[in-house]
Structure 1
Amino acid sequence: MASSAPSTSATRLPPAHDLGATWSFLEPGIELMMTRLTEGMTYQRYMELYTVAYNHCTSSRMASPASNSDLGGLGAGGSSKSGANLVGADLYNCLIRYFQTHLAGVRKGADSLTDEPLLKYYASEWDRYTTGANFVHRLFAYLNRHWVKREKDEGRKHVYTVYTLALVQWKEHMFKHVQTKGRLVNALLKQIEKQRNGEVIETSLVKKVVDSLVSLGLDEVDTNRQNLEVYRSEFEKPFLEATELYYTNESDAFVSQNSATDYMKKAESRLKEEEDRVELYLHASTRTKLIPCCDTVLVRRHASMLWDEFQTLLDLDKAEDLYRTYTLLSRIVEGLEPLRTKFEAHVKRVGLAAVEKVAGANADGLEPGAYVNALLEVYRNNYNTVMASFRGEAGFLASLDKACRDFVNRNKATGTSTSKSPELLAKHTDALLKKSNKTSEESSLEDALNDVMTVFRYIEDKDVFQKFYSKMLAKRLVNFASSSDDAEANMISRLKEACGYEYTSKLQRMFTDMGLSKELNDNFKESMAKTHDKSELDIDFYALVLANGFWPLQAPQSDFSIPTELLPTYQRFERYYAAKHSGRKLTWLWQLSKNELKTNYLAQKLQFQTSTYQSAILLQYNTNDSLTLEELMSATGLNEQTIKPALAVMVKAKVLVLEGGDSYEINEDFKSKKMRVNLNLPVKAEQKAESTDVMKTVDEDRKLLLQATIVRIMKSRKTLKHSQLIQEVVSQVSARFQPKVPDIKKAIDQLIDKEYLERVDGQKDMYSYLA
């Protein structure tokens, strides 16, 4: 390594080993950099200074005792070190003494200053000092790279690069002086309080002073790593304390004079200001302490007031204020749970009131569409509230679901029965899917079915819905009353997605039978056309052949004598089917059959739409004008329970006239404004009996399902405690209905009797599976 750098000037440079001469040469240049940098320095002058510093640091001679004693060592390097080390240490000590002397003058200028003038003076001097120190740091680059590095490598503490040394000296001899009794930080806090009070302050000034405190944090072990100790202890701690005190006083005063909604707006504004304050002039790490501090003071301290106000906002549907309540209380851990509880109770209360309004005094006569629409309106309104005001938060959605499940299954219309809601929903769905539905356009029907599935999701007894829906679907298909096959398939697909294949397997089989029946009837007509004269086939005939076990249909409740007019067609189809499917037996469901009869006895040529039983009755009047009940029963084979409702409809329509309480006469003066007169009308008594039959079927199916579920669980587990078995059964069956524990216990006892299970000896609450 060269012992000296070449000089580019005619100026006489001091001897490299002479510390006194060297420092006398360097000090004016350092003073210029530190105090009068705006005057500028020529490149030639800077290179002379750099060369002198370089020459001295690379000098291998020992400095003279006189030089050392004149300047005084400050302990940065030991006297036992080599010449190069000693020379580096003395020059380092000279820099220390210079910075201390310089700062003694700087801090005098701050002695009489307070508040904003102090901040301005401090910031201005900090800028001048750090800029100059940066140039001085580069001037002593060789000292930094070699002597300082070697000292640090040997573990000597409190030895720094020149710029860091300058910061250390500022901290000790300037900052600590102006921070006596918190003078500097108090000035900062006053500026921040002014800003909070709405006054305009010089934020760049605050930022510059705060940044200086960050810069003064020096890690003793690794000076290249920032340490926030000064910032946190001197500024952040008192800043947070001042913040807490400020907002405690302000919020208490505001709450005492303003409404809760006004307070929420104020708190929201203040929290936004503090977020911005971090960006404006605080260190980013302060955010994690400042925001929780503000949350505690502005939200947690007034949480009770916000919780109390929540119900009023719900009742008035104040979406914006509800959102504000949600966002504020979501900032604290315990903030939202009371809101969720209140929201759940609110939805339930509104739901019950809505049902009570549409149910009126007579819940039995409730129109299914009105009932379902009342449920949907409550759901939609509160779902929109959750999405708009609570941002779809999972806890509020869960509260909504719980409340809906409650009031959908238990309300004034349902009474104590959980089967009423699924029945009404099934009837509403039936009305939607019938041809008579006025809103059967594709888009509106799609929306209506979406709504059905929304309510269906909350139905607990889904098996009850399935039974009613299955029965109604069967009627729609048998009577060709569906609005469209696509709509029916769409609904079945939705139910399958919600409850699985098993839930809809029978429904899908019904559609298969309808297709097979069409093919069968087409082939029958072709066959009859080939083998019979046209005059023999004067009756239009269509038979649905439905697989037993898949359709929720019952056998006739009465014997029936087929009218002679219908008998030939009946016999032809029986023979055709027997020839095509040997071994199969047809069971004719006359109670579901229907006919059209043309009248010849009236002045008008009318068509009566009748049930087959009604047709059999009316056909008797081809040869009689008046018949008694006994005569009609004898001629048709129908029992009294079946024939009386059929006759009642025709008497009410005035097609027949009841004379003397027992004699039915044909009304030859019957008139109608319509060419087609529908006599095949449902009887309310039959509908009630049908609902009862459905529930009996549901009860039987539930018993079997409980037993099957218990056997399936025990087969896989072999042995199980009573309580665990109950829990698993409830878990597996609850997708179909909510089982009662006594019913599960009864099913267990029945399986023990059937020897599927047994109680383990010595353990009353343990069951074992018998293979």
Structure 2
Amino acid sequence: MLNHRAAHLSFEENHRYGYNLVLFKNGSLLYEGTCRLIVENLEKLVNRDLSPTFPSGSNTDSIQRSQQGETFLKALRKLWEDHTAGLQKLKDILNYMDRVYTKSAGVPEIWDKGLLLFLKHIIHPPISTHIISAILDQIRTERDGFVINRSAVKGCVEVLLQLSDPDGPSVYKRDLEPAFLQESELFYRAEGEKLLESCTAPEYLTRVENRFDSEEARTHHYLSASTDEPLREILKQNLLTPHLTAIMEMPDSGLDNMINLDKLDDLSRLYKLFLKVPEGLTALKKAIKESLIRRGKEINMSSTPSENTDPFVDEETGSKGKGKARARPNAAAQTLTLALKWVQDVLDLKDKFDNIWMKSFRSDRELEGSLNEAFRSFINRNEKAQEFISLFVDDNLKKGLKGKTDTEIDIVLDKTILIFRYLDDKDVFDSYYKGHLAKRLLNNRSISDDAERGMLAKLKMECGHQFTQKLEGMFKDMKVSADTMEAYHRHIGDVDAQGTEISVIVMTSTFWPVSDPSPSYKFPEVLIKPAESYKQFYLSRHSGRRLTWQPAMGNADVRVRFKNDKYHELNVSTFGLMVLVLFEQLGESDFLTYKEIQDAVSISDADLQRTLQSLACAKYKILKKHPPGRDVNVDDAFSFNLDFSAPLYKIKISTVASRVESTDERRETKEKVDGERRYQIEACIMRIMKDRKHMVHNDLINEVTRQLAHRFHPNPLDIKRRIEGLIERDYLERCEDKKSYNYMSDLSSLSDLR
């Protein structure tokens, strides 16, 4: 049977011989004799089939060594198949011995004994050394990119998996796997260093990904699945973990370069590989955050205006300096340009990183948190962020959305809200937004009432009703004013006896960003009569109210006659009308000094200089300045320009925009906001304490911070100061433990909190 002659033997006869030997107490003779036959056959097979195939150690050529190893492994597999085929026949014939003798004698059954004899006589040095070396040579050859006969390796691995000492691990786990893992450790340690020196970041990641795939395929096809996990750990510890930072910081190919060139596939591969190691996601979060903040800083720096900007630009030639036609100072225009560019750059950056996050980073929530932190960080480092966002919305709602569909408008506003959401001090944005909204409403500059209300709805959704209460009040005032004007016109007719048509918007002082006007404004006669007429009409309908005129926020259309009875209809500010009326009765050569004009109209120096610049120094020179120049000084004089001519009949004389806020003015704005915050913090503290009655200090600080977060992030020290102030005024009391407070007063009685 061991010599492949079973076909010539009688199974029944041999089975009976075995049965009788065991029956007549000769089981030991049968068992031991069979073992000797097995050993003799193994020695014969080794000498005949296996020994001639031993790889030559003197041959150093890797390809030839691999071929020799393949031949050896095939021979070993053939020997195993011969051995197990004979064992199977012996097992069938000697099954009575296995059932009776082996159990009573305490020895392995003949199949198990045959495997142990194979292990003892075949899998031992030097044969075992040749086996391990041949398998490792095959794997090394395949790792170097050559094709091998996987079935030869797989056949031997299966042999090693089936062989084991009694109660011990398989030969595979005992001998082959440790040697394979040690070999892999050395290979991939060198591989990591080599790839790092010779490859770009995308190439490195591709090679590493291929290594993971090839090793997974290797363990799946011809190694044990139990080897997969330790092998993956070796790959991680040698190809990824020590090189995470180096990969992302590779010059001209690292993380920044992938982002710049929108290499989404490479970024996806980087994310997938980094996710394999515990430190990978942390390193990626840090790197992506730093990259985003660095880009944000560059955007912030690009939004800083030039210190030596000429305040005037020739609108006809675009040149600076002296010229025949001077535009108004361009500081405000420059600020608007910078604001629009800054917001658009931030939006583009947001779109870019959102696209990467969704397509390459699989919408990972942890990475999303890092991205949000980075955006919040650099946006709030720009002290003009709130103003810029408000200017962006203002520009879009005035003209930028013209011709766009409702869906496109909604997309623009949604994107703006995304940036607004990152602002820490939303109350500062509110201050700017109120001012810009007021100008749009008063000057009828909004192109879409639906878009205005859509933006208002988005702000309300973000920050709550209190945030938009005053803004909604402004819209309500506009509606009520329009209805009131209709009633007024029905009352007196569209035009009064002097031919002056008046349109009045009544603004609730608590809603609109209006300053207290000078009580000494001197309106010309042409304005006094209609103003008084409207005032009497309004007060007759609303008792107990007080009207205060705000000429700085108004405008007028006036028909002006120049030389040769040529007429132009000018749109000017109310202040501009007050100044122009002074020249109505003057002769062609008559002039008024700056001081005379100021005495006649009682306008502040800042407003008067801006008004005179608009009329005498801008593109359309309705007045002549003496001496000529682009700046208005207190010793200048002005005369009416009868020679004025323009191709247009209707001309808008834009008021020179006020200067961009200086450092001191910005500080004043901040102080005003801080003053508003003081009241809001105190009111919030009292609302909370009225509801809770008693609170621990830290809990009160946290709750105040949480409730005010939709407007600004209060400083805990400011909250503490407000608590101390309320204690001094007996609205709160400090408990004996010095760590908590009691509520003492009804909120409705706190008249000095606001």
Pairwise same-fold verdict (TM > 0.5): yes
Q: Which amino acid letter does the alignment assign opposite residue 651 of structure 1?
A: A
Q: Deviations over 1:108-141 (max 9, x none)?
A: 3135434434432343354466678778889999
SS at the partner of 1:542? coil
- Does structure 2 conserve the Cα–Cα contact (< 8 Å) formed by 1:607 and 1:675? yes
Counterparts of 1:467 and 1:720, CA distance in 2: 33
Q: 1:196 aligns with which of 143, 161, 177?
A: 143
Q: CA deviation at 1:724?
A: 5.8
Structure 1 residue 282 corresponds to structure 2 residue 256: no
Which residue of the partner structure matches residue 403 of structure 1? 374
User: Residue in 1 aligned with 2:518?
Assistant: 557
Q: Which residue of 1 aligns with 2:57?
A: none
Larger radius of gyration: 1
Give per-residue Cα distances to partners, 1:49-76, cap 9 Å, x unaligned.
9xx98x999xxxxx98x763463259xx
CA contact under 8 A between 2:340 and 2:392: conserved in structure 1?
yes
- What per-residue deviation string (whole Å, max 9, x for no partner) do you get for residues 656-706 of structure 1? 345695765433332223212223414425977986775444222211222
Note if contact 1:110-1:118 (Cα within 8 Å) is conserved in structure 2: no
- Give 2:551's aligned residue: 590
Q: 1:349 aligns with which of 281, 291, 294?
A: 294
Of 468, 487, 499, the match for 1:504: 468
Letter matched to residue 656 of structure 1: L
1:368 maps to amino acid: A
Is the aligned partner of 1:368 residue 2:323? no
SS in 2 for 1:309: coil
Q: Do the aligned partners of 2:474 and 2:507 also contact (CA within 8 Å) in 1? A: yes
Q: Which moved more, 1:608-617 or 1:557-566?
A: 557-566
Which residue identity is paired with 2:340?
A: G
**Alpha-carbon distance change, 469 to 189 in structure 1, aligned in 2, over 3 angstroms:** same
Alignment of 1:648-727 (within 5 A): 648-652=613-617, 653-657=620-624, 661=635, 664-685=638-659, 694-714=669-689, 725-726=700-701
CA distance in 1, matches of 2:74, 2:45: 12
User: Who is 1:86 aligned against?
Assistant: none
Contact 1:354 1:378 in 2 (8 A): no
In structure 2, relative to structure 1, the CA distance for the partners of 1:350 and 1:643 (3 Å cut) is closer
- SS at the partner of 2:517? coil
Q: Which residue of 2 aligns with 1:15?
A: none
Q: Which amino acid aligns with 2:124?
A: T
Shift of 1:472: 0.6
Contact 1:595/1:609 (8 A) holds in 2? yes
The answer to whether the aligner puts 1:300 opposite 2:254 as a matched pair is: no
Q: Alignment partner for residue 478 of structure 1, among 428, 442, 448?
A: 442
Aligned equivalents of 1:409, 1:191: Cα separation in 2:
60
d(CA) in 2 for partners of 1:40, 1:556: 126
Say which of 39, 43, 46 aligns to 1:110: 46
Which residue of the partner structure matches residue 618 of structure 1? 580
Distance in 2 of aligned mates of 1:302 and 1:644: 65
Alpha-carbon distance in structure 2 between the residues aligned to 1:523 and 1:218: 108
Check whether the contact 1:433–1:440 (CA below 8 A) recurs between aligned residues: no
* Residue 105 (structure 1) shift: 1.7
Contact kept, 8 Å, 1:306 with 1:325, in 2: the verdict is: no
Match of 1:71 among 26, 30, 33: 26
Looking at structure 1, the residues matched to 623 and 106 of structure 2 have their Cα atoms a distance apart, in angstroms, of: 120
Q: Partner of 1:359 in structure 2?
A: 304
Q: Which amino acid aligns with 2:569?
A: Q
TM-align CA RMSD: 4.6
Say if 1:517 and 1:211 are closer, same or farther in 2 by CA, change over 3 A.
farther
Match of 2:123 among 172, 179, 202: 179
- For residues 322 and 100 of structure 1, do their structure 2 counterparts lie closer, same or farther at Cα, with a shift above 3 Å needed? farther
Q: Is the 8 A contact 2:200 2:253 kept in 1?
A: no
One-letter amino acid of the counterpart of residue 671, structure 1: S
**Structure 1 residue identity aligned to 2:344:** N
Paired AA for residue 459 in structure 2: L
* 1:521-532 map, 5 Å: 521-525=485-489, 527-528=490-491
Q: Deviations over 1:74-110 (max 9, x none)?
A: 9xxxxxxxxxxxxxxxxxx87x975874465245313
Size of the aligned set, in residue pairs, is 680
Counting only pairs closer than 5 Å after superposition, residues 598-613 of structure 1 correspond to structure 2 as 598-600=559-561, 602=563, 603-613=565-575
Distance 1:768 1:173, change over 3 A: same
**In 2, are the aligned partners of 1:436 and 1:483 still within 8 Å (CA)?**
no
Secondary structure of 1:596's partner? strand
> Normalised by the size of structure 2, how large is the TM-score?
0.75
Query: 1:427 and 1:40, CA in 2 relative to 1: closer, same or farther beyond 3 A?
Result: farther
| Distance across 2 between alignment mates of 1:455 and 1:503 | 17
Structure 1 unmatched runs, 5+: 1-30, 58-62, 75-92, 221-226
Do 1:310 and 1:339's aligned partners in 2 also have CA atoms closer than 8 Å? Answer: no
The 1:98–1:402 alpha-carbon spacing in structure 2 relative to 1, beyond 3 Å, is same
Match for residue 81 of structure 1?
A: none
The residue that corresponds to 2:187 in the other structure is 246
Which of 276, 285, 303 in structure 2 is aligned with 1:331? 276
| 1:672 partner amino acid | A
Query: Contact 1:557/1:642 (CA < 8 Å) preserved in 2?
Result: no
Deviation at 1:156, TM superposition (A): 9.5
Residue 169 (structure 1) aligned to one of 88, 113, 133: 113
Q: In 2, Cα distance between the equivalents of 1:717 and 1:230?
A: 73
Q: Read off the aligned partner of 1:480 and give its amino acid letter.
A: N
Write the distance in 1 (CA, Å) between the matches of 2:659 and 2:80: 98
Q: CA deviation at 1:645?
A: 4.0
- SS of equivalent to 2:286: helix
Structure 2 SS opposite 1:180 = coil
The amino acid of 2:557's aligned partner reads E
Q: Partner residue of 2:751? A: none
Pick from 413, 416, 421 the counterpart of residue 452 of structure 1.
Answer: 416
- TM-aligned CA deviation for residue 608 of structure 1: 1.2
Q: Does residue 489 of structure 1 match 2:450?
A: no
**What TM-score does the superposition give when structure 1 sets the normalisation length?**
0.74
Indicate how the Cα distance of structure 1 residues 354 and 621 shifts in structure 2: closer, same or farther if over 3 A, else same: closer
Could you list the per-position Cα deviations for residues 189-248 of structure 1 after superposition, in whole angstroms to 9, with x for gaps in the alignment? Answer: 33222322333322122223323444457998xxxxxx9745422432332222223333
Q: Distance in 2 between matches of 1:498 and 1:176?
A: 78
Q: Give the CA deviation at 1:621.
A: 4.7
Distance 1:753 1:565, change over 3 A: same
- From the superposition, tell whether residues 638 and 110 of structure 1 become closer, same or farther in structure 2 (CA, over 3 Å): same
Match of 1:124 among 75, 78, 81: 78
The answer to whether the 8 Å contact 1:405/1:459 transfers is: yes
1:77 match:
none
Asked if the contact 2:613–2:656 (Cα under 8 Å) also holds between the matched residues in 1, the reply is no
What SS is found at the alignment partner of 2:572?
strand
Q: Contact 2:27–2:101 (CA<8 Å) still a contact in 1?
A: no
Cα deviation, residue 495, structure 1: 2.5
| 8 Å Cα contact 2:162/2:170 also seen in 1 | no
CA gap of 1:693–1:524, structure 2 versus 1, over 3 A, is farther
Percent identity among equivalent residues?
A: 27
How far apart are the structure 2 equivalents of 1:35 and 1:537? 132
